[in-house]
Structure 1
Amino acid sequence: MNFLLFATIFISVFIIITLYISKRLVKKLHFKQRYKNYFNAFLILNLLGVFGYMVFRYYPIIPNSVYFLLSIPIGVIFLLFSTTVIYDIFSFIIEKGIPNEKRRTFLKKSLDFSSVALAGSINAKAMYNAKHIEQENVTVKIKNLPQSYNLVQISDVHIGGLIDQDFIASLVQRINALNAEVVVITGDLIDTDIRFAQKAVDELKNIQSTYGTYFVTGNHEYFHKVDVLIEYLKSIGIYVLENETVYIGQDDKGFNLAGVHDLFGYRMEQYEPNIEAALQESNPNAPTILLAHQPKFIKEVPNSVDLVLSGHTHGGQLIPFNLLVRLAQPYIKGLHQHNEHTQIYVNKGTGFWGPPMRLGASSEITHFTLVPA
């Protein structure tokens, strides 16, 4: 029922956006009607692709080549919508601000051609960006940390469809090249039933680190039998932090690594986050790093936590979607000093959700050097 409601709203929104593009961009272009018809047919094909994507998103039983064609339209329509908004603004300025008819017509035609060229360019650039995962090297100073540590974070991988076994195998190779002492996965690891993702998830067994790989749930895990996924991850040697703390390091030279379930657990009324339980067994003399999928969980974090590692936002993934994300989350990407006691780092996501496209927010592997303040 939840999926049907989400799918209905999702597709309805894209129908409205498509109509807006057709009325406010295509109809106003100084192109021959034949080309406008082609453009509208292209929009209809994209809309059908969105529908197909929603059908196969959570049941990736089709070839990746077909899945790619079905996923691209989401990004194409969204970026065309953004282009149309900009086009509308400049078109209004030209219409109202240029009294000379010949000059107005010239500028309007220039705007038409440049807008179509811009739309094509940014879509191509967004697809190119999604293929390349950047390594972000971040140094974080932490009070009372006895010695330096090397930690790697990945987040929002969204295994399923285009994020397949080959993608994860390549990702694991890059992680292992960093010789991490600790590897953390801050939620939204899979985006399908584990039976479709098992081969890709199994590649995570090959991650090498001194103290192991740690995972906390993200909101997408709750859509796909979160209990089954948790147990499976445990069975392949990944430590799932379920509102609990482990001590990383030897003797008194380490730090607390805590983890909480995602805020979505409140809505689902299962696997709810509990910061008090998570910190109950922590060493009071050691600094604490907390894994929490959504940045806004920081509102529940006490001052005893030195650093929060989050994801969820994808850095916005596609401009200007980051502006909407900012309405829901206090931080979008990067390192921030939340208050006098606590810092937070938001990973932009290692994979992608929906279209294999990124614009203004690259995929990332975060390589932390934790040093004594």
Structure 2
Amino acid sequence: MVLIGFAVVVLVAMLLLHGYLWWRLVRATTLPGRVRRGLTLLVVVLALLPTLAVTLRGSIPLAAYTPLAWAGFSWLGLAFYTFLALLVTEPVRLAARLRRRDPAPARQEVLVPSGPDTPAPAPAPAAAPAPAAAPAPAEPPELPRRLFLARTLAAGAGAVALGTAGTGAVLANSAPVVRRVPVRIPRLDPALAGLRIVTFSDGHLSATYGGRRFERVVETVNAQRPDVVAIVGDLVDGEVDELREDVAPLADLVSEQGVYFVTGNHEYFADTTAWLRHLPTLGVDVLRNERVEVRRGAAAFDLAGIDDRTAVMSGLPGHGADLDAALDGRDDTRPVVLLAHQPVQVAQARAAGVDLQLSGHTHGGQLWPFDYAVLLDQPAVEGWSMQGDTQLYITAGAGYWGPPMRVGARPEVTVIELQPGQPVDPGR
């Protein structure tokens, strides 16, 4: 039922998006005839591409799905920014329409006196036949002016959308930026000062992301000389057999005290059990509602990890976020750093007295202006924030989902450097 509902939502969204694009790019810019029919057919085909890319994932062989995913999701990103660019031009079209409908000046009426004493008007002398007037120059018809405006606005919107989507595609497939974030924790033992947790999320290894691009993420992580590596969910978008080679670079991660992973919502779109068995063979420890000690000499803090909040809907026995189980029996005098895929899980962390939560999930918005929509479901989009007494850091993610582009949100690897002291905004 969930999949059927999702498919219906996708279909309705595609119909609305492409219906508007057809109205502005085809109907408004062409006359009835062969050209309009051809372009209408093209819009129908383009609308089917992303719909099939979303609904057929996992249903057809990867070799057949990969070109469909590239074509469908690339067009979806371009269509979205074409839609936004056209929407911005609607006031221009409205102003032009109102100007065409501006009423002509009202005719003035001449009042003629009447009554018994009013002399009858003298008959007007017969007018001499007027010489034939030269024909007035014909004004250009109104339709071509509308066509010219519609085509001009469509061409401008297309150029802006193509430039935006193209830039976003380059950025999404470029090397991740490294963000260094000092985080002060009051209860942290001074012996742990400078300990580095290198974190990334949302690799979304798939038909359109992996290979050399993911190798580069691993190399970036290793270059930071991490004490701990934390992968906070949504690593994969597919099955182990499909992505075995793409995920293999994880085995090259080098960390003083281990590489840890927690599930994201997308891990539950695949064979979750198979992935949770495969990751440890690459040297990645999966934290499922449990914790480990991170030590430097006699000093230590707890690193805890919980399942994604959607895990309970997977139907898998024992899956579901359980922070109480993860923290049960620990030494309360030590600080705790929590790995939880979705930032909204910080509500539980705050109630449990967690010092710092590391999350992903939002992609930093990925495609502006979706960062505003993220705030409808999550407490923040990216970066550091205070949530009560709990600090929250949201990494913007290393990969992408859907359109292979990022606009306003670069791919990111984050270095969390722990320091003792009272929390302060690291951006100040």
Report the TM-score when normalising by structure 2.
0.78
Q: Which amino acid aligns with 2:405?
A: M
Q: How does 1:163-202 map to 2 (within 5 A)?
A: 163-202=209-248
Identical counterparts, % of pairs: 30
Partner of 1:287: 335
Report if the CA contact (8 A) 2:86-2:154 is conserved. no
Partner of 1:320: 369
Report if the CA contact (8 A) 1:94-1:108 is conserved. no
| 3-state secondary structure, aligned to 2:21 | helix
In the TM superposition, what is the alpha-carbon distance from 1:144 to its structure 2 partner?
1.9
Partner of 1:20: 20
In the TM superposition, what is the alpha-carbon distance from 1:52 to its structure 2 partner?
3.7
Evaluate the alpha carbon distance shift between residue 64 and residue 72 of structure 1 in structure 2; reply closer, same or farther with a 3 A threshold.
Answer: same
Partner of 1:131: 173
Q: Which has the higher helix share?
A: 1
Q: How does 1:271-286 map to 2 (within 5 A)?
A: 271-286=319-334
> Highest Rg: 1 or 2?
2
Distance 1:307 1:37 in 2: 58
Report the TM-score when normalising by structure 1.
0.89
Equivalent of 2:163, from 121, 124, 129? 121
Say if 2:253 is the partner of 1:207: yes
In the TM superposition, what is the alpha-carbon distance from 1:112 to its structure 2 partner?
4.2
Report if the CA contact (8 A) 1:25-1:88 is conserved. no
Distance 2:352 2:99 in 1: 55
Q: What 5-or-longer segments of structure 2 have no aligned partner?
A: 104-139, 422-428
Equivalent of 2:311, from 247, 260, 265? 265
Report if the CA contact (8 A) 2:230-2:261 is conserved. yes
| 3-state secondary structure, aligned to 2:299 | coil
In the TM superposition, what is the alpha-carbon distance from 1:96 to its structure 2 partner?
4.4
Partner of 1:356: 404
Identify which range, 262-271 or 149-158, moves more after superposition.
Answer: 262-271
In the TM superposition, what is the alpha-carbon distance from 1:5 to its structure 2 partner?
3.9
Report if the CA contact (8 A) 1:60-1:160 is conserved. no
Partner of 2:62: 60
Identify which range, 177-186 or 80-89, moves more after superposition.
Answer: 80-89
Evaluate the alpha carbon distance shift between residue 274 and residue 41 of structure 1 in structure 2; reply closer, same or farther with a 3 A threshold.
Answer: same
Report if the CA contact (8 A) 1:290-1:305 is conserved. yes
Q: Which amino acid aligns with 1:306?
A: D
Q: Which amino acid aligns with 1:198?
A: R
| 3-state secondary structure, aligned to 1:355 | coil
Evaluate the alpha carbon distance shift between residue 97 and residue 239 of structure 1 in structure 2; reply closer, same or farther with a 3 A threshold.
Answer: farther
Q: Which amino acid aligns with 1:333?
A: E
| 3-state secondary structure, aligned to 1:262 | coil
In the TM superposition, what is the alpha-carbon distance from 1:126 to its structure 2 partner?
1.5
Evaluate the alpha carbon distance shift between residue 300 and residue 41 of structure 1 in structure 2; reply closer, same or farther with a 3 A threshold.
Answer: same
Partner of 2:114: none
Q: How does 1:134-173 map to 2 (within 5 A)?
A: 134-146=177-189, 147-173=193-219
In the TM superposition, what is the alpha-carbon distance from 1:267 to its structure 2 partner?
2.3
Q: Which amino acid aligns with 2:375?
A: R
Q: Which of structure 1's runs of 4+ aligned residues deviate more than 6 A?
A: 30-38, 97-102, 104-109
Identify which range, 310-319 or 246-255, moves more after superposition.
Answer: 246-255
Q: For this pair of structures, how many residues does the alignment match?
A: 371
What per-residue deviation string (whole Å, max 9, x for no partner) do you get for residues 14-47 of structure 1? Answer: 1221001211454334899887667645533422
In the TM superposition, what is the alpha-carbon distance from 1:119 to its structure 2 partner?
1.7
Report if the CA contact (8 A) 1:127-1:356 is conserved. yes
Say if 2:82 is the partner of 1:80: yes
Distance 1:361 1:368 in 2: 19
| 3-state secondary structure, aligned to 1:257 | strand
Report if the CA contact (8 A) 2:28-2:150 is conserved. no
Say if 2:94 is the partner of 1:92: yes
